Structure 1
């Protein structure tokens, strides 16, 4: 297959879309929390990707269809689906059923630094010192937002099953992000996302078969269906494609740093939609995240 040469997209557009990804994923904490409390986890995750795959196949058909993959590409997209879809969602839904959303978000905020460490230690990729500083500033700012300024209390809590689950998800997402860079030299973001979602959705569906006896159809109210649609359409199709466009344009480490904006948006949505208070520490932390993102993406 001929390698994909993506048309150059203005960096401003790339950054704007990655901010949009963070905003969409900020909303997924609310939607996932709804589903995780009332549905078996694998069924909820399967429903998310059933919606996503249906829309992705439509989008792919409108942009030339899905190409036939080589065996090597098939294996690579399977790994993407296994790490970024199956592993991440099993861990994310499982963690949110055990932990408060803020505690889960604190662990998710480790994603940029885990991604950078894998690239530096395993792939031997050199990351400039200024970008390490940016990653650290964004991580600290994100932690301040999530803990409402009480970092000591958060760090003093014991690490249990929920925390370990979410850290496993973070590692899975880091692999998905890094491997995606290589695949995006051969496949478009839409095609790579579609194949990864097909594989991951299939794995989730197989697991969901063992949870069918636990499903109560009575819980499928408008709130549940709305959460599924949001997660499938916006939290997956739109966000995953834009995220991979970012990886393709600026690389895994610089793209992953935008994940630290997710809790900032989650807190903002909590204030706007739920009337939760915005503390000064959250404003300071949010400013630090923005500064860290800008520092990491300095050219």
Structure 2
């Protein structure tokens, strides 16, 4: 398969904006997911989320007249990408049953490093020594945001069962961006994401059919369905669109370095909800992650 053409400068700028939107939307999924994961089995919850998001993309594709006859040879491609997403989302909801949204966010900051490795393995995208240094500094800044002044808590950072489970989910999700770049054959994003989500829903139904049949749907709290609807519209449908758009225009590792901004978004969200102003160490972490992300993007723009 031929490599994608180099994107236009305007498209690259929009790709960076898309990644900011992606990280913000993903940041909201941790507290929302933590609030609803006890109400439904994670596979069932994720299947519903995918079905709703697929319906959104179907509506967009229909409104834009983008439908063409699907090629059977493309379905294994959709299934491979869908499997990566299924592993990530199911492990995330399982992990949120066992740990806090904050600790899950800490594990999620491992994504840029994993993605850089996946990008090299699949696309031979190389990361410079300076970019590796920035990735490490960004990870340190993210941990400072999460742990603030409690450096002894940071020093004792240990993976519990929830963090360990999500570790494997994040490692799987690292292949999402390079796979999207490698396997997209020029389909419109709405159609491409629709078939990925449909395949994901099929895989989840096949995996969790017993839980689906055993679920007492009348006993599921209303806030769980509201949370699924929010996750389907925003952190799933919208962020998939943003991530897909950016993954076709930016290198995988530096692109996912935007993930280091996630703790900062979480911090701002908690402050909006009434949390007190953070301490100096937390503010320092926000500054470090922002600077590391900025330097990485400048390096990419200069071709380093």
Distance between the aligned counterparts of 1:47 and 1:285, measured in 2? 36
Residue deviations 1:214-233 (CA, integer Å, cap 9, x gap)? 44533332x32321111000
Tell me, what secondary structure is at the counterpart of 2:249? helix
2:30–2:104 CA contact under 8 A, matched in 1: no
For the pair 1:168 / 2:149, whether they are aligned, the reply is no
- Once the two structures are TM-superposed, the CA of residue 187 in structure 1 deviates from its matched residue by 2.6
2:180 aligned partner: 180
User: Partner of 1:127: helix, strand, or coil?
Assistant: coil
**Displacement, 1:5?**
7.1
8 Å contact from structure 1 (residues 6, 188) kept in 2:
no
The whole-number CA distance in structure 2 between the counterparts of 1:277 and 1:215 is 42
Contact map agreement 1:138 1:260 (CA 8 A) in 2: yes
Q: Determine the structure 1 residue equivalent to 2:250.
A: 250
* Structure 2 partner of 1:263: 263
The 8 Å contact of residues 54 and 193 in structure 2, kept in 1 or not, is answered as no
Structure 1 residue 248: Cα displacement: 0.9
1:117 and 2:117 aligned: yes
The TM-score with structure 2 as length reference comes to 0.88
- Counterpart contact for 1:138–1:292, Cα < 8 Å: yes
CA contact (8 A) 2:123 2:182 kept: no
User: Within 2, Cα distance between the matches of 1:4 and 1:192?
Assistant: 16
- Equivalent residue for 1:150? 150
Could you say what secondary structure the match of 1:249 adopts? coil
Task: Check whether the contact 1:130–1:295 (CA below 8 A) recurs between aligned residues.
Answer: no
Aligned to 1:286: 286
Greater shift after overlay, 232-241 or 192-201? 192-201
Q: Name the CA shift for 1:26/1:113 in 2 (closer, same or farther; >3 Å).
A: same
Moved more, 71-80 or 229-238: 71-80
Q: Deviations over 1:28-74 (max 9, x none)?
A: 11111111122221221122112111101111222333444445432
Report the CA distance shift for 1:72/1:134 in structure 2 as closer, same or farther (over 3 A). Answer: farther
Q: Deviations over 1:100-158 (max 9, x none)?
A: 11111111100000111233366543212222222222211111111224354245244
Conserved 8 A contact 2:119-2:175: no
* 55-64 or 155-164: bigger deviation: 155-164
Q: Report matched runs for 1:230-249 at 5 Å.
A: 230-249=230-249
Give distance in 1, aligned partners of 2:151 and 2:239.
30
1:270–1:90 CA distance, 2 compared to 1 (3 A)? same
Aligned pair in 2 of structure 1 residues 215, 41: CA closer, same or farther (>3 Å)? farther
TM-score normalised by length of structure 1:
0.90
Q: Is it true that 1:197 corresponds to 2:204 in the alignment?
A: no
Residues 95-110 of structure 1 aligned to structure 2 (within 5 Å): 95-110=95-110
Listed as ranges, the gaps of 5+ residues in structure 2 are none
CA distance in 2, matches of 1:21, 1:217: 33
What is the DSSP-based 3-state SS (H/G/I as helix, E as strand, rest coil) of the residue aligned with 1:232?
helix
> 2-side partners of 1:290 and 1:118: how far apart?
23
Conserved in 2, the CA contact under 8 Å of 1:142 and 1:289?
yes
